[in-house]
Each structure stands twice: as structure tokens, then as C-alpha cells.
Chain A
Amino acid sequence: MALLSYSIRRVLMLIPVLLGMSIVVFSIIRAIPGDPALTILGEKASPKAIEDLREVLGLNNPWYIQYFDYLKQIITGDLGVSLHSGASITQEIGPYLAATTELTIVSMLFAVIIGVNAGILSAWKQNSWFDYCAMLIALIGVSMPIFWLGLMEQWFFAQELKWLPSVGRDNSRNPIEAITQFYILDTIIAGQWDQLWEVIKHLILPGIALGTIPMAIIARITRSSMLEVMRADYVRTARAKGLAQFWVVYKHALKNAMIPVLTVIGLQTGLLLGGAVLTETIFGWPGVGRYIFTAIGNRDYPVIQSGILVIATIFVLINLLVDLLYAYVDPRIKYR
């Protein structure tokens, strides 16, 4: 019951957050110097074309009218129309979100499985040879320039070894018929096993590039959190009972050590969903980060606004989910 009312309060709290976000996004665009219409049209623009575009963008209205028009539109689920392609953003953004989500899931699986286990082992075998190596790798991982890592991966695994493809979501010589836009699902639904293998191969390099930083962060947090818990009395009691070290670590200590780890996983997942611009650019991944990035290059204001708003909303929702998960992991947490 307490959980339910907490959840409702937590969801209601999203409204001011989202409103605030829409104001920030809206004002950032308008704070850019120069006439947006002229910036969009460039050196060949005729004065009439500039005036027409100002009209289309609603730039001739006072800013508060522009904002309320924008808000009205968003609330009805209409994200606007891209200036660049003339297509509806609500429709356009779907496949991009699917591509990004698929990549994010794979990267986070990679980051969580390796990161959490490496962290646990490091804490368990503190000050061992393994611990030093793992934490050194984690340190390198945290400070890894993704751009460099991505290009190196491509050069080594695609160009030199020819083990894995370097770009895209599928093999263009044997393209996938999109149904749900989640290619792993699509190939399973179609029963195309060779294509499923292709899709997985295409996910590996960008997945590792994108998952490296979260993996390193997760490993470090898990280690320090585990070390703290392992010193707790109840762990010592468990050991004194004669429980095998493995069960002490994985059953008793881990659950309590997971709280900060979960927070980090939540934050990182949110970041990946929106911040995968670099990875998506290097690996030619048709995702939402690149969609917004391209829109910035094209000065496609409606796409920038709506895209950022969508990502921010997802980010907020994931954090909500993490908050609610705490209750499951640690029953001591009370929601008041």
C-alpha cells in the first residue's frame, strides 16, 4: 500500500519535471545567435524564402505564444514535423528508438554481466593479482575515448581480421525485412536464423564500444559497495555459520551491495539511450542519438526539441523504475 501511494506520488512528480524540461529545451534553441531561418537556408537564401520559413517556424509570434503552441502540440502526442524531411517526427522517431534500444540493451547486458562479476570477484579477492588487473582495466575503461575505441575495433576486427562487420545493423547484401524494427525479434519472427546471426554480429562491436564505460563504472562501484557490505556483522555471522564463501558473497552480501549499483545501472542506461551519438556515428547505426545530432547540423529545430524531450522523458522514466526496484532489492527501504 505504501509502495502504491509512493509510486503514484512519484509519477505525479514527473509532471513538473517534464514541464521544466520542455521550457529548457525550448529556450536553448531560441538562445542560439543569429536568425534561425537564415542559418537554416544558408548562402543561397532569397529574402522571400527566409520570410516564409520564419512564418513556418512561427518565429514571428511572441515567444510565449510559440511556447504554448508547442506545448499544446506535444500534449496531443504530436511531436511536430521535421523541417528537413517534411515528415512527421512521431512517425520518424520510431525506428530510430528501436535501433537505439536494441543497441542499449546489448551494451548494458555486456556492461552488467562483466562489470558486476568483475566487481564482485575484485572485492572477494581484494588486493589480489586479479583485483589489480581488473581495476586497472576499469580505470582505462572509464577514461576510454569511445571514438578511438570504435575506430580501433573496426580497423582490427573488421578490416584486418574480417571477423565482424564494421557498420550498420544488417548486411546490406541480405537485408532484413523490418516488422517490429527490433531486428533480433524480426529475424526470430521470420525464422531467418542466418540473418539472426548477422544481426548479432553487427551488434557486437558497437555493443562493446558503447558498453565499455558503463562496464568500468559498474565494476568499480560494485567492488567498493561489496567491500563495505562484506565488513558488515551479518556477513561475518554467515561466515561463522560455516556457509561456503561463494554463498556468502553471491547470496548474502550481493543483495545489499546492489543498491548503489542499481542506481548506476539506471543512470547509465538512460545516458546510453540518449548519449550514443558517437557510437552511432562511427558504426553507422541509424539510432536516435544520430537523428538528433544530424538535426543539429541541419538546424532542424522541431526535431532537436522533440528528440531531446523524448530522450529526457525516457531517462526520467528509467530512473523512476530504478527507484521502484529498490523496494524489491532492499525491503528495509520504506516509502514515506
Chain B
Amino acid sequence: MKKRVLSGAMTSLLALSMLLAGCGGAQTTTQAPAEQPKTEAPATTPAAEPAKAGPKQLIIGRGGDTVGLDPIAQTDGESFKVTENVFDTLVGYAEETTEVVPSLAEKWEIAPDGLTYTFHLRSGVKFHDGTDFNAEAVKWNFERWSDKSHPQHNKEGFEYYNDMFGGYKGDETHVIKSVEAVDAQTVKFTLNRPLAPFIQNLGMSCFAIASPKAVQEAGPEKFNEKPVGTGPFKFVEWKRNDTITLEKNPDYWNAGFPKLDKLVFKVIPENTARLTALTSGEIDMMDGLNPDDAQTVKDNGDLQLILRPSMNLGFVGFNIEKKPLDNPKVREALAYAINKPAIIEAFFAGLGQPAVNPMPPSIWGHNNEIKDREFSIDKAKQLLSDAGFPNGFKIKFWAMPVARPYMPDGVKIAEAIQQDLKKIGVEAEIVTMEWATYLEKTKKGEQEMFMLGWTGDNGDPDNFLATLLDKNNIGGNNRTRWANEDAHKLLMSAQSATTKEEREKLYYQVQEIIFKDVPMVPLAHSTPALAARANIIDYKPHPKGSESLEKVDLK
């Protein structure tokens, strides 16, 4: 009896859902146009005048809340998505690449020895609290960040400052010797030693210039909730885990921008619910689209799909201290045997590109001349027998236990690779463990074959190539334990070179060496998908994951 009731219930549920589905199909066609926002402007209004339909608002749905709004104290993308719009940095990045362009600094000179950087600041710029942006303000910000004894320095320190500029004032490795305000519009940085990515670092979202007066008045903790910068939008309100509201800064230095009057960042954790809210018009755009929903968005005339250029890398690494991975021929054979396009199709839902080099093409210095090995079982087998393993071998393959944008499902992808390797006789045994242990053990070099990835910080090639593969980083992020001397020399001279052209050449060579010696198989660069209402124009997502929305407008 009980069983029958249950199955009856299931049937009726099924019937109900089918009924709902049926209604849905009919409803879409009739209901969709009704959602267009009504403009209250009478037909007589001249077309040139903006429609008086109230303020132009953009509501952005996203998966998680901001951690804090003081950019220097943050490391996460959800915080930078907001601070990018409230603050400016000395230099910025080009629209869709990591090429450095002017921002608060109009131009700059670098001394030939790479030890002095002189910035000429934009004049007439004001912070949202009315105080002037000038050389003193820049100097004050750098002092706050670098000096641990500064009254507005956080007790936890500033992680990115420490990472990017070699520690704090007084540390042996600290890069910045002094920051001088030469005159109101000129700032001079003197370095202790050349740091090639110096200017690249200054464009990072965290090194945004805050109003000294506002930080002093509020103190670092309150400022983290009530930010004041020079950016295109001013901070209005933050309801935690719900919304952050910004309004237009009418005095923004980039004349004519921003186009919008109001910007709301709204937290909707569930990806599907976020898409529903977008479809129903409660929000205007969203990030974190499920790759499987990309097609739904493309098929909906009210919506558009926007892809963010990639700034990450997912890879399969070889611990070259373990046999037989010490043999380059074996590594090359494994590289031939992994079917990258199939993995991207299956696990990234096509929203990714096969990786050739250990850095994404959105970063300058990416060597486009290198052509990837084609998936070939025959070549892999040939190389294996040349290396003395005609019948393959057994190996342990460590799979990531957590999902990351660069590796959506570590274990499943590992299983796909396991199948690929079986075809050349290599028996891979998948090993996985808790994340913290995984990171610790791979650092110590206990693994054989493993998977991991990296998301770029400052858009500099050094941030990928040296971090992941320089011999100085063995025991750190170089988990392949690849200690190639030639690559090391090139990476080191690239770190001390001052011109971009010079560095570019060196990185091209490094990538060639890496490609030939195969310490890792770069798998994929994922391109996160965003969806927006069709009336949104000029939204250009930046590879670094956050961007200023000053140019975005509504049709």
C-alpha cells in the first residue's frame, strides 16, 4: 500500500512538472516582450536628449559577497569587482590585455638602470570626499602600505604588497627605497634593486590610491566598509551578503564617463537562480554562468553571452625527480597522449582554450610561434619505446580534490587522462587527498604526476613562468622540481631587464625551452562566461577578473 501511494505521488509529481513545463513553453513567447522596461519619456522628447526614464541603473548578480572595500587589504576577486569602480590605480591595463596604460599617472619615465621611476600625475583630480589627489596622496598611500609602524597599517599586513614588492620597509628584500613628491604633480620612486614587473604591479587592483583624509578619519577597519577613492563611482551602501550600491561620480576625471547613474552588486549564490533572476529582469547581468547554460543564453533573444579572456592555467605536472619522469622522452610521450580538446569539450563545456604555454595568451610575452603537439597515440608509443618502455609503465597520478576555474573537476579530468594514457600502456593510478595535504605534499615533491593550476596576479609573464618553473621556486610553487639552468638564466635576466621589448624576447626563449623539455603539460585556459540583458553595451570583461564599468551603457 505504502509503495503504491509513493509511486502515485511520484507520478503526480512528474505530471505536475510536465504540466509546468508545458505552460512554460507557451508562456515564453507571449510574456517575453512585456518585460522591456517602460520608458516614461513622451514621444515628443527629442531623440538627442537622454530618455527621462529615471536613473540609469545596472544591477549585477554575482555568486559571493565582497570581503572588504579597502583595496590594499584584499586578495579576492569579489572585492576588486567593486573597488575597481570606486578607486583608480596609478597605471591601468588595456581593455582586454595586461598591457600597461596611463590612468592616474598620465606618463612616466624609467631610468636606464631601472632604479628610478618618475610619474607625472593627472591634474585636477579629486577624491570623492573633495580632497585633492596629488603627489603627496600617492606618497602617503605607499607609506601606509610599506611601513608596518604606520598608524593606518593593518595589523595583518597587506598580503599583496608583501608579495609584489618583496616585503615591507626595513626588510632586506624590500624593493622600494623611497617615494618622493617632487612637486604636486610628480612622484619619484627609487628602488633598491631593479624589479622588471614594477610598473606592471602598480596596475593591480589592490594598489589603488585611497583618500588619505578618509583613511585617517575612519581608521583602516571602518575604511574597509566605507571606501573613498577617485574612481568613476562613489560608495553609497553595503548590505552584507546582499547588495553593494555605488552612484555616479559626476566629477570623474575621464570626461563623459561613467555612463551609468547607479551600480548595484547583488549576491545570488546559486548559479541557476541567478540566471532565473536575469531572465526575469530582476538583474541586468551576471557572472559565474554555468558552462552548460551558455547555450540557453545564446538562444534567448533578450540576453547576450560575454566571455572573459582567460588569465589562468590548468596543467598536468611531472615531478622530474621521480623515475621514469626524469626522462624527457617519457614526458613528451605523455604530452602526446593527452587529448586536450576532448577534455575542454567535456569538462569546460567548451568554455576554454587548449593551453600551449604555461601562461595564457592574454598576457603579453606569450609565444604565439610555438605550435602545440597534436594528440597522437602513435607518436606517444614511438617515444615510449625509444625511451625504453615499449610496454608502458605504472605511475601514480595525483588529482586535485577541489574545483577551481582552471580545473572544474579534478578527479573526473584525471579519469579522462587515465583513459588516454591507458592507450599507450601507461597505467595511471589516481591518488587524491584533502586539499591542504595535497598542497603541502606536492610542495615537498612526494608526488609523481599531478595536476594543479595558477591564476595570474599582475598580468606579468614572470608571475606565471618564474613562479611555476624557476628553480628558485622549488619547494615553493615549482612543484615539478624542474631546475633547468638555461631557463633559470633567462628568467633571471628578464627580471632585471628594464624594457618590455627586451623582456619579451627572453620570455619567448624560456617558453621554447619549456615546450621542448616538457616539465608540464599545459592543459587549458578557461574563459569564464557572463550573461547580460541584450540592452547592455560596451561591457568589456578584463582577464584579471574585475574591471571598471565606467564605459558600460544601456541601449
Contacts and interface: CB of A to CB of B under 8 A. Distances in A.
B439 A283 contact: no
A86 B156 contact: yes
B24 A156 contact: yes
A42 B276 CA distance: 32
Interface string B234-258: 0001011111010000000000000
Given A38-B440, A136-B8, A87 B225 contact: yes
B225 A95 contact: no
Nearest to A278: B270
B57 A173 contact: yes
B270 A42 contact: no
B9 A86 contact: no
B28 interface: yes
A172 B264 contact: yes
Nearest to A176: B239
Interface of B: 5-6, 8-9, 12-13, 17, 20, 23-24, 27-28, 31, 34-35, 57, 59, 61, 64-65, 67-68, 73, 156-157, 159, 163, 221, 224-225, 237, 239-243, 245, 264, 266-270, 272-274, 276-277, 279-283, 434-437, 439-440, 452, 454, 477
Contact of A169 (B242, B276, B281): B242
A282 B272 CA distance: 8
Contacts of A156: 20, 23-24
Given A35-B436, A166-B280, A173 B59 contact: yes
Contacts of B452: 43
A287 B73 CA distance: 26
B17 A85 contact: no
A96 B241 contact: yes
Interface of A: 33-36, 38-39, 42-46, 49, 52, 56, 84-87, 92, 95-96, 136, 139-140, 143, 150-152, 154-156, 158-162, 165-169, 171-173, 175, 178, 281-284, 286, 290-291, 294
Given A38-B436, A39-B435, A284-B266, A294 B241 contact: yes
Contact of A160 (B28, B65, B221): B28
A113 to B, nearest CB: 23
A38 B157 CA distance: 18
Nearest to A283: B273
B53 to A, nearest CB: 12
Given A161-B31, A168-B266, A151 B273 contact: yes
B93 to A, nearest CB: 20
B276 A158 contact: yes
Nearest to B245: A175
Given A44-B477, A140-B9, A286-B239, 15 more contacts: A39-B436, A43-B454, A86-B221, A92-B240, A139-B6, A155-B24, A159-B279, A165-B277, A165-B282, A167-B277, A168-B242, A175-B237, A284-B269, A294-B64, A294-B241
A193 B31 CA distance: 27
A158 B280 contact: yes
A154 B273 contact: yes
A160 B156 contact: no
Q: Find the residue from A52, A152, A155 having the highest chain B CB count within 10 A.
A: A155
A87 B240 CA distance: 11
Contact of A168 (B35, B224, B268, B434): B268
A45 B443 CA distance: 11
Contacts of B28: 160
A86 B68 contact: yes
Given A34-B437, A284-B273, A172 B20 contact: no
Nearest to B467: A44
A168 B436 contact: no
Given A33-B434, A290-B241, A281 B269 contact: yes
Contacts of A33: 434, 436-437
A34 B5 contact: no
A39 B435 CA distance: 7
A34 B57 contact: no
B211 to A, nearest CB: 20
Given A172-B266, A281-B269, A284-B269, A166 B282 contact: yes
Contact of B268 (A42, A155, A167, A171): A167
Contacts of A87: 221, 224-225
Contacts of B241: 96, 286, 290-291, 294
11 contacts: A34-B440, A43-B477, A86-B73, A86-B224, A136-B5, A151-B272, A160-B31, A166-B277, A168-B242, A172-B59, A175-B264
B173 to A, nearest CB: 12
B504 to A, nearest CB: 25
A39 B17 CA distance: 42
Contact of A284 (B5, B24, B31, B267): B267
Nearest to A56: B156
Contacts of A169: 242
B476 to A, nearest CB: 8
Given A38-B440, A86-B224, A290-B241, A158 B156 contact: no
A59 to B, nearest CB: 13
Given A38-B436, A86-B156, A96 B240 contact: yes
Contacts of A151: 270, 272-273, 276
A132 B554 CA distance: 54
Contact of B439 (A43, A155, A159, A160): A43
A159 B67 contact: no
A162 B283 contact: no
A283 B270 CA distance: 8
A282 B439 CA distance: 32
A162 B270 CA distance: 19
Given A156-B20, A172-B266, A286-B239, A167 B282 contact: yes
A95 B239 contact: yes
B437 to A, nearest CB: 5
Contacts of A92: 240
Contacts of A84: 67
B314 to A, nearest CB: 12
Nearest to A171: B282
A167 B241 CA distance: 13
B358 to A, nearest CB: 15
Contacts of B57: 173
